[in-house]
Structure 1
Amino acid sequence: MSDDFDLEPQPQPVAKTGWRRFVPSWPRSGSSDLDDGPSYTAAERSRIATALRWGGGVLLVLILLYYPIGAVISHKINDDPAFTAPAIPAEASQTVAMASALLDREVNGTTWPANSPWFFPGAILDNMPNFQSGEIQALQRVVTEFRDQIGRARGTSSADRALQDAAAYLNNQPDIWYIDLSRSWAPMKPSESYYNDAIKALNDFNGRLTRGDAVFERRADNLLSTLDRIGKDLGAASDDIDREIDEQSGSWFDLNADDVFYRNKGELYAYGLLLKALGQDFRQVLTEKGAVRIWDRMVGSMMEGAVLQPWFVINGETASMMQPNHLAEQGFYLLRARAQLEEITDILQK
């Protein structure tokens, strides 16, 4: 008998190697115990597919609702004309306190969508960022005037350090976020952080002013210089309105009209509150010059223009009876406030 056995070699299971180890086998109905993975019937596979479709649909709906609902929650135009700053000692500046309170409300009391990246719902907002940018422009002007004129002794002394810091912080653009490769490859300090630093600097100035360690020159020439520069800002805002009306009037869908409108609205609103406070700081000067009533009317004109808030900003034909022009309406109050401001400067020069 031969010792050789003619046995057919049995196939050996092949171990999965490399990337194949991580590729699951799609379960097959009726698979044997040697098949990889569990086995599913046709009905079970159908239920899994239905669940995946429903899950994908729900996820899509949530994504579609994320932006509009989030934007509605974030959107807030703070145009309350009765807004006041917290009470401060008589020696402190009402204008500086108002600047600090305005900043604090916009930066810490609401959202700041001007620098929101695309994955935040506030990124789709338009009117609120323009309104807040207009406020920042007015704050920059007033704080700069305090640094250069009102907060130093007749220009011969050095500028107050806190006012220097506040003006520098406010000079940063409102659309800076942590990451912006168009500006820098390194992480950045966002706009809100700069503005919070400005709040601290303004409060520091008022604290030292209360203790007698800072200067606040309540003179007519300082007030005159400040009003002159504010008047130039209002003139620039008026030019923006004129240009938009000249180029786009008559269009129901002027997509830039609301940008101009809300930027001017924010500027008028902030100037109205800041000048109201400035009138309290310079009440003695205004009383001596007989300018209190015209000052109050100027502030009132600014507030009338600031509280305008149509459902849609339309840049219609200026002579049309059916098509409004909200830019022209805003421009009326802006120019009236500017004319009253110029009247006050004439009074102060006498």
Structure 2
Amino acid sequence: MASSSLAKSLRWGIGAFIVLNYAVAVWWSSEPEPFDVKLAAEQAAEAEQLSPVVGYATTTALIEVAQTLLNKSGGYLSNDKMPPSVIMDNMPAWELGVLNQVRDLSLIMRKDFSRSQSQSQEHPELKIAQPKFNIDNKAWLFPSAESQYQEGIDALIRYRSALANENQGDAQFYARADNLVSYLAEVQSRLGSLSQRLSASVGKEMQNTDLAGDSAAQQSTQTTTDYQIKTSWWKIDDIFYESRGEAWALLHFMRAIQIDFEQVLEKKNASASVAQIVRELEATQDTVWSPLILNGSGFGLVANHSLVMANYMSRANAGIITLTDLLTKG
């Protein structure tokens, strides 16, 4: 009788543990809502009793996006070793997407936005911040990813304070067309890769164009003329949420660019192009009503969420290409 009661209690305990972990996993899987970049910059400036200057919005957007990565519901999950986060993959994939964009922008801020020319010195706080975001996203001890990312955020906050301080002229942000083009090149590379990976959910026959456009071009080893790319069924949802995370972060960075590069964009007649890119990125954040990321064929009966996301990413990438053209030729 006692053993039967113990077994029953054990079953109830295991059941309660599973239900509790599932509920927590669902809660932690909720993606943060986009925030108002302009309002965030104004509030940060007010808290520091400073006036926003050129570059303040972009730096604030980078800080807020990185802080959201650490402070959202459940905190940072990619390096967790205990349930339920250890068995979750959608949110860690989303975090990786956000982190990729944080890494790209922090690098561009260090080597382009904060420097007047190639021979000028890097700002010391950005030299601290940028490498901190490059630690392995799964590192959990000695040091943990969260501790390194927080140190990077702290360095960015110090740079932002110096940026708006008239007595610290060594901290600058140069809103120039050529600097913006450098950043857009990074964005274009990211979006192009994501679009390709998303489209591969249904399998694609590809023509090898690696050496196209240059009759004298060479490569290390020979490759086939035709090849197929297809994403593993197990990785489809990971790539979808990684793309969604990248788009979420990039949405805020493009909104910040609208503020800091306003005069450059107006002079190049490129404001509408940035606004269209923002619209495409906003569309990637629509609610996913399905409990699963579906992978129907291109024109099949079942939806293919990856192809829908690929469409928005490709259109945003096309907008980036158009914007780059306007900035270089306008």
1:316 equivalenced with 2:280 (yes/no): no
How has the CA–CA distance of structure 1 residues 200 and 281 changed in structure 2, closer, same or farther, with 3 Å as cutoff?
same
Q: Tell me the residue number matched to 1:100.
A: 63
Q: Tell me the residue number matched to 1:201.
A: 155
1:85 equivalenced with 2:48 (yes/no): no
Q: Tell me the residue number matched to 2:107.
A: 144
Q: Which of 189, 204, 209 lines up with 2:143 in the alignment?
A: 189
Q: Where does structure 1 lack aligned partners over 5 or more consecutive residues? A: 1-45, 179-187
Q: Tell me the residue number matched to 1:109.
A: 72
2:139–2:145 CA contact under 8 A, matched in 1 = yes
Trace 1:112-123 onto structure 2 (pairs within 5 A): 112-117=76-81, 119-123=82-86
1:221 equivalenced with 2:178 (yes/no): yes
Q: Structure 2 counterpart of 1:176, which letter?
A: A
Q: Distance in 2 between matches of 1:333 and 1:196?
A: 32
1:71 equivalenced with 2:35 (yes/no): no
Q: Tell me the residue number matched to 2:263.
A: 284
Once the 2 structures are TM-superposed, how far is the Cα of residue 155 of structure 1 from its aligned partner?
1.9
Q: Tell me the residue number matched to 2:91.
A: 128
**Cα offsets for 1:33-66 (capped at 9, x unmatched):** xxxxxxxxxxxxx5x4455334433332333334
Aligned residue pairs total 291
Q: Structure 2 counterpart of 1:280, which letter?
A: I
SS at match of 1:154: coil
Once the 2 structures are TM-superposed, how far is the Cα of residue 277 of structure 1 from its aligned partner?
0.4
Once the 2 structures are TM-superposed, how far is the Cα of residue 307 of structure 1 from its aligned partner?
2.8
Q: Percent identity?
A: 23
Q: Distance in 2 between matches of 1:94 and 1:144?
A: 17
Give the root-mean-square deviation of aligned CA atoms. Answer: 2.3
SS at match of 1:328: helix
Trace 1:171-182 onto structure 2 (pairs within 5 A): 171-178=134-141
Task: Tell me: higher relative CO, structure 1 or 2? Use CA pairs within 8 A at least 6 residues apart.
Answer: 2
How has the CA–CA distance of structure 1 residues 193 and 225 changed in structure 2, closer, same or farther, with 3 Å as cutoff?
same
2:201–2:307 CA contact under 8 A, matched in 1 = no
**Cα offsets for 1:244-303 (capped at 9, x unmatched):** 331799x9x933211111000111111111111012111010011111111111111112
1:81–1:307 CA contact under 8 A, matched in 2 = no
Q: Distance in 2 between matches of 1:247 and 1:77?
A: 30
How has the CA–CA distance of structure 1 residues 236 and 142 changed in structure 2, closer, same or farther, with 3 Å as cutoff?
same
Q: Tell me the residue number matched to 1:268.
A: 247
Q: Distance in 2 between matches of 1:50 and 1:315?
A: 45
Q: Tell me the residue number matched to 2:120.
A: 157
Q: Distance in 2 between matches of 1:245 and 1:144?
A: 34
TM-score when scaled to structure 1? Answer: 0.77
1:170 equivalenced with 2:152 (yes/no): no
**Cα offsets for 1:178-232 (capped at 9, x unmatched):** 2xxxxxxxxx221111111111011111101111420211111111111112111
Trace 1:235-314 onto structure 2 (pairs within 5 A): 235-246=192-203, 254-307=233-286, 309-311=288-290, 312-314=292-294
SS at match of 2:164: helix
Q: Structure 1 counterpart of 2:131, which letter?
A: A
1:144–1:167 CA contact under 8 A, matched in 2 = yes
1:174–1:191 CA contact under 8 A, matched in 2 = yes
Q: Where does structure 2 lack aligned partners over 5 or more consecutive residues? A: 46-50, 206-227
How has the CA–CA distance of structure 1 residues 60 and 90 changed in structure 2, closer, same or farther, with 3 Å as cutoff?
closer
Q: Distance in 2 between matches of 1:59 and 1:146?
A: 52
Q: Distance in 2 between matches of 1:234 and 1:284?
A: 26
